[in-house]
């Protein structure tokens, strides 16, 4: 279970800036 949790955390850390960048580019 710990590996799954670490994967989820890594995915969130990677995805958050990407989603923020996409969101920012769609607004501007």
**What confidence tens digit (pLDDT) does each residue in 1-28 have?**
789 999 999 999 999 999 999 999 988 7
pLDDT score for 28: 77
pLDDT score for 27: 86
Cα–Cα dist 23/1, whole Å? 32
Cα–Cα dist 21/14, whole Å? 12
Cα–Cα dist 18/28, whole Å? 15
pLDDT score for 11: 94
Q: Which two tokens stand for residue 21?
A: 């960048």
Per-domain residue ranges of the chain:
1-28
């Amino acid at each position: 279970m710990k590996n799954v949790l670490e994967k989820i955390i890594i995915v969130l850390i990677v995805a958050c800036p990407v989603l923020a960048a996409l969101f920012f580019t769609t607004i501007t």
